[in-house]
Amino acid sequence: MGRALHSWVAAPAAAGVMALAMSAPARADLSGVAEAGVGYSDNIGRLPNNEVDETIGTVGLELDWNERTRRIRGDATVDVSYFEYLDNTYDSELLGTANGNLGVAIVPEILQWAFQDSFGQAQADPFAPATPTTREDLNYFSTGPDLTVRLGSNGFGRLFGRWATTTYERSPLDSERTTGGVALGRRASPRSELSLNAVTESVDFDEAINTDFDRDSVYVGWNLDASRTAIDAQLGYTWLERDGADKTGSALVNIVVTRDLTASSVLALTVGTQLGDAGDSLRTELQGGVIGGGGTQITATADPFENRLASLEWRYTRGRTGFTLGASWNEEEYETQTQLNRVRYVYNVSVSRRLASAVDVQLFGTLESEEFDNVNLESDELRMGAVMNWRAWRTLGLRLTAERYDRDTSNGTGEYQENRAFLTLAYYWGAADAATRR
């Protein structure tokens, strides 16, 4: 139930990836799981005492889509759940993450139009446990053209523009941004691209209480889409200027590497340093596959910050058994709201096993540790659980999920324990349906 590139470099980098992907053989893949059912929590408010239980009606969707043709390059990953709190403790809410990219070649290899959307949650109070009253939906949408012209046999020039919005469910932090840039590069092969990029961006908030800012970047980009290795890298520098404040600068580093170690195992690495905002962090974590990314760890604020991160994940699947091991480190330093400065560590592990042709089980655990040095607060939150899927029919089955949350803090505030359980009816299609017949 429920599971980028920096905005000022996403457009040219994504255009490069699109150009490489569109040279690949055409293919389309779609798989998913839709489910509906009921759940129970013994401490829905996540309080240290006087706990309140809650019955929850839920509808969920897990979706993976990938398409590569001469005119379309698209991919989407969705893992969202709608919760209806039947005892009326809270209003209904949508939880989870979704990330999608779509590139349409109006004139193949010359003029493309891009769409990108990232959805997740932000935490209004980062010092408190995540509950329906402290978290809210956060969405980042961008669209715009990419114009590419050939320069000689292997060289190219690219102009691009983007219009984007960042919207919050409740906080007065909505903004619009316009981005433009130019890239000069060379394609050493149909699957490799090296470029020099310059990007400028302006961010304007809807509410006057927030401070607008401009951002400029210069960087070198490299995209590689090999048979076993995919690399998307940008190295350069960013300058940020808030209205009425001095210009600041920071290194720009964004490296995402995926390597097929064997036919059964994959290693994914993300390393980055960015000077941006909450919308940028959401895109970076979802598109880069950062461990623990996209959830309520993102703070709802208009204050820009420098975000440094590293994430490593190993996935193994063979026959009836699968393993996942991952860890990430994330450090945030804000321009003015220094009380929000923090270091965050996330460790996760999961094991899955198909016990029979119609039954599989997954065990998982995640530990999140945060350190807020300027407010002298440390917290550890442990989540562990189990999922059992019974494929009673070819496309239908029952899913039982049990979870336990346990949070401890250095000052004793915000501590809680919660147990949850869900029973849902699931419908499978695509690759998820095929998996039931192995």
Predicted local distance difference test score (pLDDT) of residue 437: 42
Percent of the chain with pLDDT over 90: 80
- Asked whether 237 and 213 are in contact (CB, 8 A), the reply is no
Candidates 16, 57, 331; CA nearest to 193 is: 16
Q: In this structure, which amino acid lies at residue 287?
A: Q
Give domain 7-430's CATH architecture.
Beta Barrel (2.40)
Confidence band, pLDDT 50/70/90 cuts, at residue 89: very high
Q: What is the mean pLDDT of residues 97-104?
A: 95
Sign of CA dihedral 236, 241, 247, 250: negative
| Cα–Cα distance for residue pair 62/3, rounded to 1 Å | 9
> Rounded mean pLDDT of the chain?
90
Predicted local distance difference test score (pLDDT) of residue 129: 94
Tens digit of each residue's pLDDT (9 = 90 or more) over 311-361: 999 999 999 999 999 999 999 999 999 999 999 999 999 999 999 989 999
Confidence band, pLDDT 50/70/90 cuts, at residue 6: very low
| Cα–Cα distance for residue pair 210/141, rounded to 1 Å | 20
Predicted local distance difference test score (pLDDT) of residue 22: 45
What number of other Cβ atoms are within 10 A of residue 127's Cβ? 19
Tens digit of each residue's pLDDT (9 = 90 or more) over 229-270: 999 999 999 999 999 999 999 999 999 999 999 999 999 999
Tens digit of each residue's pLDDT (9 = 90 or more) over 262-308: 999 999 999 999 898 988 888 888 876 677 665 557 999 999 999 99
Q: What is the mean pLDDT of residues 51-74?
A: 95
- Asked whether 199 and 214 are in contact (CB, 8 A), the reply is no
Predicted local distance difference test score (pLDDT) of residue 433: 53
- pLDDT over 70 (residue 1): no
| Cα–Cα distance for residue pair 187/90, rounded to 1 Å | 54
- The residues spanned by each domain of the chain are 7-430
Q: In this structure, which amino acid lies at residue 266?
A: V
**Which position has the higher pLDDT, 193 or 26?**
193
